[in-house]
């Protein structure tokens, strides 16, 4: 169990380090991606998707098992009408804050004080979701 | 040798290096822990840590069965990794700046907190309704050719572009 947590700590550390190094935590680069004036982060994402895809093909080519020999299970998230609605809501937040749920953590680590407000908002937004899915009127029984 | 150290630990990375390392995390997380790359569910883990006795059904689902759990370590690692990055490149410990935004507007701290807090609120709510964020959907999901992830990403980009256009015109005073 401790080894598992350590693995997540180290891989999270690499993720945060990479996001910071490549400038994904910079407001101006997010702004540039969405205004089309600086596509650095779009290229980062496209490269990451391609490398991730090739890496998964390689992993499957080597038998599709984890380091402990378990079968790897990749589950797609369900496609529902709310997928595009939620995507649209999150995009507004991305445009307003200049961060996404991952890069705001890199902003925090870099000492960007305003990221504290973004993070507090994120926790509150997640809480409101947890309240909403408990209501009878929520369009889907399960989130 | 010194050049390599500078390139990795001191200077900013080119886009392809960031894409390479972030992309490799997708198979690495499956290989090590049979887990999908993703961040936004981790905010549920933070809530679970803050409200251990909550009655909300989502926070009592099997996603959070092991308590706050490993997701907090992943999210915490991200903060630490960025902290190390900023230290090695000699940035100030804290900064009130947020790029072009704070360089352009002269808002009170309260107005900034309200604006960025609202942005964060929509990030948290939207990511949960969509079932993931940039890492879980746009990188992990599309890399695995999941249709729902492509649809969510189209949503992120569509309103991200529209919102940034409105911010540019009405707040930052850029031309339309």
CA-wise closest residue to A93 among A51, A68, A123: A123
Task: Mutate one of A122, A123, A134 to test the B interface: name it (highest B CB count within 10 A).
Answer: A122
pLDDT of residue B175: 66
Average pLDDT over residues B14-23: 98
Please judge whether B47 and A130 are an interchain contact, meaning their C-beta atoms are less than 8 angstroms apart. Answer: yes
Q: How far apart are CA B27 and CA A74, in angstroms?
A: 11
Contact list in B for residue A127 (CB cut-off 8 A) is 47, 124
As a whole number, the mean pLDDT across chain A is 95
Q: Do B99 and A28 form a contact (C-beta atoms < 8 A)?
A: yes
Q: Which residues of A touch B78 (CB under 8 A)?
A: 12-13, 15-16, 19, 102, 105-106, 109
pLDDT category, A143, cuts 50, 70, 90? very low
| Subunit contact B127:A110, Cβ cutoff 8 A | no
Judging contacts by C-beta atoms under 8 Å, the chain A residues touching residue B104 are none
- Secondary structure class of A112 (helix, strand, coil): strand
CB atoms closer than 10 angstroms to residue B110: 9
Q: What is the mean pLDDT of residues B115-129?
A: 98
With CA atoms as reference, report the closest residue to A110 among B8, B83, B78.
Answer: B83
Q: Cα separation of B176 and B98, whole Å?
A: 22
The Cα-based distances of A130 to A21, A89, B57, B107, B124 in angstroms read 34, 16, 8, 32, 11
**Mutation site for A-interface testing, chosen from B40, B164, B166, B176 by largest number of A Cβ within 10 Å:** B164
Q: Quick one: CA torsion of B106, B107, B108, B114, rounded to 10 degrees? A: -160
- 3-class DSSP assignment, residue A75: coil
- Beta-carbon separation of A110 and B59 below 8 A: no
Read off the pLDDT band of A2 (50, 70, 90).
confident
- Per-residue pLDDT, averaged over A5-29, amounts to 98
Query: What does the pLDDT look like over B39-65, one tens digit per residue?
Result: 999 999 999 999 999 999 999 999 998
Q: Are A130 and B59 in contact (CB under 8 A)?
A: yes
Contact flag B121-A27 (C-beta cutoff 8 Å): no
C-alpha distances (whole Å) from B102 to each of A28, A64, A65, B89, B172 are 11, 48, 48, 22, 9
**Is the pLDDT at A1 greater than 80, yes or no?**
no
Average pLDDT for chain B? 95
Which one of B85, B128, B163 has the shortest CB-CB distance to A126?
Answer: B128
Measured between CA atoms, the residue of chain A closest to residue B15 is A44
Map out the domains of chain B as residue ranges.
1-95, 98-176
- Give the whole-number percent of chain B exceeding pLDDT 70: 97
- B67 SS3 class: coil
A44-A46-A51 Cα angle (round to 5): 90
Interface test with A, best of B28, B128, B136, B142 (most A CBs within 10 A): B128
**DSSP 8-state secondary structure symbol assigned to residue A71:** B
Write the residue in A27, A73, A76 that is nearest to B99 by C-beta.
Answer: A27
> Which has the higher per-residue pLDDT, B66 or A137?
A137
| Angstrom distance (rounded) from CA A86 to CA B163 | 15
Hey, are the CB atoms on A53 and B145 less than 8 Å from each other?
yes
Please report the sign of the dihedral spanned by the C-alpha atoms of residue B131, residue B134, residue B136, residue B138. Answer: positive
Region B139-163: mean pLDDT is 98
A87/B74 Cβ within 8 A: no
The DSSP code for A143 is -
| B115 phi/psi in degrees, rounded to 5 | -65, -50
Contact (CB<8Å) B119/A25: no
Closest partner residue to A21 among B24, B85, B123, by Cβ? B85
**What is the Cα B97 distance to its own chain's centre?**
18
User: For chain A, what percent of residues have pLDDT higher than 70?
Assistant: 97
Find, in chain A, the residue whose alpha carbon is nearest to that of B135: A102
The pLDDT-based confidence of A141 (bands split at 50, 70, 90) is: low
State pLDDT tens for residues A86-130: 999 999 999 999 999 999 999 999 999 999 999 999 999 999 999
Cβ contact A126–B76 (<8 Å): no
In chain B, % helix, strand, coil (3-state, to 5) comes to: 70, 0, 30
pLDDT for residue B2 is more than 80: no
For chain B, what percent of residues have pLDDT higher than 90?
A: 93
Test B95 with A35 for CB contact under 8 angstroms: no
Q: How far is Cα B65 from Cα B57, in angstroms, rounded to an integer?
A: 11
Q: What is the mean predicted confidence (pLDDT) over B83-92?
A: 96
**Three-class DSSP category at B94:** coil
Residue A139 has pLDDT above 90, yes or no: no
């Amino acid at each position: 169990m401790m080894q598992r947590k350590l693995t997540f700590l180290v891989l999270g550390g690499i993720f945060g380090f990479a996001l910071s190094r490549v400038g994904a935590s910079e407001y101006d680069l997010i702004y540039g991606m969405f205004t089309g004036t600086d596509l650095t982060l779009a290229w980062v994402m496209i490269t990451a998707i391609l490398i991730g895809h090739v890496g998964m093909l390689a992993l499957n080519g080597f038998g599709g098992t984890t380091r402990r020999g378990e079968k790897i299970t990749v589950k797609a998230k369900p496609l529902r009408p709310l997928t595009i609605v939620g995507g649209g809501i999150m995009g507004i937040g991305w445009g307003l804050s200049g961060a996404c749920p991952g890069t705001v953590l890199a902003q925090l680590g870099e000492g960007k004080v305003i990221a504290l407000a973004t993070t507090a908002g994120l926790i509150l937004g997640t809480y409101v979701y947890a309240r909403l899915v408990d209501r009878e009127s929520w369009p889907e029984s399960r989130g | 040798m010194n050049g390599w150290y500078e390139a990795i630990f001191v200077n900013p990375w080119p886009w392809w290096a960031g894409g390479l390392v972030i992309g490799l995390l997708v198979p690495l997380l499956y290989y090590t822990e049979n887990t999908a790359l993703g961040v936004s569910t981790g905010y549920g883990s933070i809530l679970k840590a803050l409200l251990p006795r909550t009655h909300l059904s989502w926070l009592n689902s099997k996603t959070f069965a092991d308590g706050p759990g490993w997701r907090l370590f992943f999210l915490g690692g991200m903060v630490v990794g960025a902290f190390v990055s900023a230290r090695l490149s000699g940035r100030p410990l804290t900064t009130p700046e947020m790029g072009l935004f704070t360089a352009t507007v002269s808002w009170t701290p309260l107005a900034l907190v309200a604006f960025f807090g609202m942005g964060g609120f929509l990030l948290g709510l939207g990511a949960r309704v969509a079932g993931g964020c940039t890492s879980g959907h746009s990188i992990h999901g599309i890399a695995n050719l999941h249709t729902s992830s492509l649809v969510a990403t189209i949503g992120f980009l569509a309103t991200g572009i529209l919102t940034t256009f409105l911010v540019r015109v009405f707040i930052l005073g850029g031309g339309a």
